[in-house]
Amino acid sequence: MEKKITIAIDGFSSTGKSTVARRLAKELGYVYVDTGAMYRAVTLYMMRKVFVSEGNFDEEAIIRHLPFINLKFVFNEDKGYGEIYLNDENVEEEIRYMEVSKHVSRVSALPKVRKMLVDQQQEMGKDKGVVMDGRDIGTVVFPDAELKIFMTASTEQRAKRRYDELMGRGDDISYEEVLKNVKDRDFMDSTREDSPLRKADDAIEFDNSTLELEEQFDKVLKIVKDKIAEVNS
């Protein structure tokens, strides 16, 4: 049987990581794990409890409540990927709202939150055959991943992508607000003390600003297939 590999895809928000990761998983018959969705779901839980809101961040309560959070991905046949469930409720859509985006970097900077989610991510990927995207997959979650990809794109392009996505969903939001959120999160995600976003030394960098989606995917797929062939040779 063909040996499977672990594929780690990291990068700033809205670089198109998840689109590439999902397609790759589908193409290879691998499991796709959106780790950003896990941090977002924890944040949503804390927002509902009002431990996190504009002007309030109750770190002690957040940590105390972590054991009450159960996360799982349930495969949606129509969509072709796993949707995230927070304590048995499908929150795939709600976690993408701007309010969650505003608070998620702060919640995900907490070491206890990271420890809990990294443990779960390592468990999900322990049998390989997984495509995982996030910020610290190649550096912390799977430092021994056979293939690491680091995606970049200009800030403006990423904000535009995110804005189009939110508008498509009917959100009432300005481009400036989205751009500010993207910049704020970039800053927090890359300067936090625990597992900041950085390119692993052995990651292959992809600048997604110029490449068309199709062209980019073909390039990534070729790299992946070469790597799988190498591992099986």
Interface residue list for ligand DC (CB under 6 A): 13, 35-36, 39-40, 104-105, 108, 134-137, 185, 189
| Shortest reach from residue 230's CB to ligand DC, in Å | 26
Query: Shortest Cβ distance from residue 229 to ligand DC (Å)?
Result: 28
CB-based contacts of 132, cutoff 8 Å, min separation 6: 6, 7, 8, 9, 21, 32, 33, 35, 121, 124, 125, 141, 142
Structure tokens at 219: 């390039």
The smaller minimum CB distance to ligand DC, of residues 4 and 161, is found at 161
CA distance linking residue 135 with residue 144, whole number of Å = 15
- Nearer to ligand DC (CB atom), residue 125 or residue 228: 125
d(CA 225, CA 219): 10
In the complex, the smallest distance separating the C-beta of residue 203 from ligand DC, rounded to whole angstroms, is: 14
In contact, 14 and 166? CB cutoff 8 Å: no
Q: How far is CA 78 from CA 74, 75, 82, 83, 184, in A?
A: 12, 9, 10, 11, 34
Least separation in angstroms between CB 107 and ligand DC? 8
Residue 59 pairs with which residues in a beta bridge? none
Nearer to ligand DC, 5 or 44 (CB): 44
C-alpha count within 13 angstroms, C-beta hemisphere, residue 101: 21
Would you say 4 or 11 has its CB closer to ligand DC?
Answer: 11
Task: Compute the least distance from the CB of residue 36 to ligand DC, in Å.
Answer: 2
231 phi and psi, to 5 degrees? -65, -30
Q: Which is nearer to ligand DC, 107 or 228 (CB)?
A: 107
Q: Which is nearer to ligand DC, 10 or 224 (CB)?
A: 10
Minimum separation from the CB atom of position 2 to ligand DC (A):
27
